Amino acid sequence: MRPIDVRPRNPGDPVPDTLGLRLAHRVMLADAARLAALVEDIAAGQTRCDRPRARAIAAYLVSFCDSVHHHHTVEDAVLRPVVEASAGSRIDFTGLTDDHAELDPRLDQLRVAAAAFAAEPDEDTATTLAVGLAELRDLLSEHIADEEAALLPIIEAYVSVANWDGVERQIRERADLAFEVPRIVAVTTPEELAALKADGGLVIRLLLAVLGPRFRKRERAVFGP
């Protein structure tokens, strides 16, 4: 990842728009919650799950784990240096990076549990997967609440718009847009979606037109109609 040339933000300069970060957090929480609820219902025998659906759930979960890994990796490698250079001692990342270090082993465990569930979708594999998803849901919920409370005010107070744009550009360059864009759009308000379309212009509209139908088909295979 390319280092960003951090330049100080002057008094009166515009405030960075953190909507993209907040939406990324929102969609992670939404997916963690609905995946945990779905697999809990399957483990309890309340939702039927044949092998094709189990494989679809496992594949979606792997994409979700990859998305969470990408997000916290970029935060550590790109966002943290920019914020520290901009705000100095006004922010302490220790607790947040400790949470990130805890995430990867959990994501690896979930990938293994998802593979076992796809191979043999029975009560045991569903229960193991449900427990792992519930733990991830709770960890993400607590971590994101702490991160937004600590980080967003600092970004808005000390990071320049140009540096923030550089962070977001590196995040987008490495993201799986086919997975990320439709999910993010699904958790936006009408006003937020209008802001995204205004910012992304024709590119966002084309991505939604191309990726939306394919992603909705994938969602139906996982979560049902």
Asked whether residue 129 carries a pLDDT value surpassing 80, the answer given is yes
Asked whether residue 29 carries a pLDDT value surpassing 90, the answer given is yes
176 part of a folded domain: yes
Rounded mean pLDDT of the chain? 89
Structural domain of 92: 19-223
pLDDT for the residue 80: 87
190 part of a folded domain: yes
Q: Specify the number of domains making up the chain.
A: 1
Instruction: Please state, for a pLDDT cut of 90, what percent of the chain lies above it.
Output: 57
7 part of a folded domain: no
Cβ contacts of 95 within 8 Å, gap of 6 or more: 146
The closest of 154, 156, 167, 147 to 96, measured between CA atoms, is 147
Distances (CA, A) of 132 to 3, 18, 32, 46: 35, 30, 10, 19
Q: Which stretches within the chain are classed as H helix?
A: 19-43, 51-74, 80-87, 94-119, 123-158, 161-173, 177-186, 190-223
65 part of a folded domain: yes
Give the mean pLDDT of 59-87: 91
Handedness of CA 32, 62, 219, 195 (dihedral sign): positive
pLDDT for the residue 2: 67
2 part of a folded domain: no
12 part of a folded domain: no
13 part of a folded domain: no
pLDDT for the residue 8: 76
Cβ contacts of 35 within 8 Å, gap of 6 or more: 57, 60, 61, 64, 133, 137
In this prediction, residue 136 has a pLDDT band, given cuts at 50, 70 and 90, of: very high
Asked whether residue 200 carries a pLDDT value surpassing 70, the answer given is no
In this prediction, residue 90 has a pLDDT band, given cuts at 50, 70 and 90, of: confident
Which of residues 93 and 74 earns the better pLDDT score? 74
Question: Can you give the CATH number for the domain in which 53 is found?
Answer: 1.20.120.520
Question: Can you tell me which residue has the tokens 């520290």?
Answer: 84
Q: What is the pLDDT of residues 1-14, one digit of tens each?
A: 566 778 778 888 99
Give the mean pLDDT of 198-220: 78
The closest of 219, 153, 207, 156 to 178, measured between CA atoms, is 207
Distances (CA, A) of 49 to 54, 67, 92, 102, 113: 6, 24, 45, 30, 16
